[in-house]
Structure 1
Amino acid sequence: MHRFKDLSIWKRSRLFCSQIYEITSKFPESEKFGLTNQLRRASVSIPSNIAEGTSRNSNKDFIRFLRIALGSAYEIETQLLIAHDLKFISKENLQKLTIELEEIIKMTSKFKSTLKT
């Protein structure tokens, strides 16, 4: 059994979540229930699903939660591109966040592949 607080993917995705909250705080007020909400929910979903997965009794269940976390990561990538298209975030911020997100995706995928079902 894994302790989620010890997992680097959980720690890193939690920090990424804070970055998403910070950047979306600058979005237009009209996006409060649109992209702001979607990006925040998806970013919270990554560390939350990693944590929930660690509580499961089997690696098969844990892998399912890691897949959900990965789905949220790809959702965020799309939403960040849309936010950039709408000029809510700069190209520099898009690149910075995308690089970090890609690293989280790689780490999560690699960790998932080490779990035996």
Structure 2
Amino acid sequence: MNEHSHKSFTELEVWKKARALKNEIKELSESFPVEEKYRLTDQIIRSSRGINAAVAEGHGRYTFKDQLHFCIIARGSLSETHNHFIDAFDCKYITEDRLNYFKNKIEEVERLLNGYIAYLRKNV
């Protein structure tokens, strides 16, 4: 078993930051137009939830290789979320300031996730 297996995924800093991001995104998405409910709103919520879900699922796996695989999936969901913010900006649902605010939050999660990925790669 690996050295962090005794900890819950909820203790991982990357999971905590991704959770905070997900919650802020949920709040923001409530301001999107009603006609976007099953389009952009749904997509951005799903992709932001996918970050946490993949980190949690990977953490529950037995091998570093499996954990690494799910963290790479989480990174893909993070990139998808960033793309949805660009879409929201392009549609004028958010300002450039809001886009930059969330870009910085996303980059913070990405740095933590990349650090976790580097740690896992050393142990594969």
TM-score (norm 2): 0.92
- Structure 1 residues 18-97: aligned runs within 5 Å: 18-97=23-102
1:72 deviation in Å? 0.4
Q: Distance in 1 between matches of 2:102 and 2:24?
A: 8
The ranges of structure 1 where at least 4 consecutive aligned residues each deviate by more than 4 angstroms after the TM superposition are: none
Pair member with larger Rg: 2
Number of equivalences: 117
Q: Distance in 1 between matches of 2:10 and 2:108?
A: 18
Which residue is equivalent to 1:104?
109
Q: Distance in 2 between matches of 1:5 and 1:92?
A: 30
Identical counterparts, % of pairs: 32
C-alpha RMSD of matched pairs (Å): 0.8
1:3 deviation in Å? 2.1
Q: Distance in 2 between matches of 1:39 and 1:82?
A: 10
Q: Name stretches of at least 5 consecutive residues in structure 1 with no aligned partner.
A: none
Q: What amino acid is the match of 1:100?
A: K
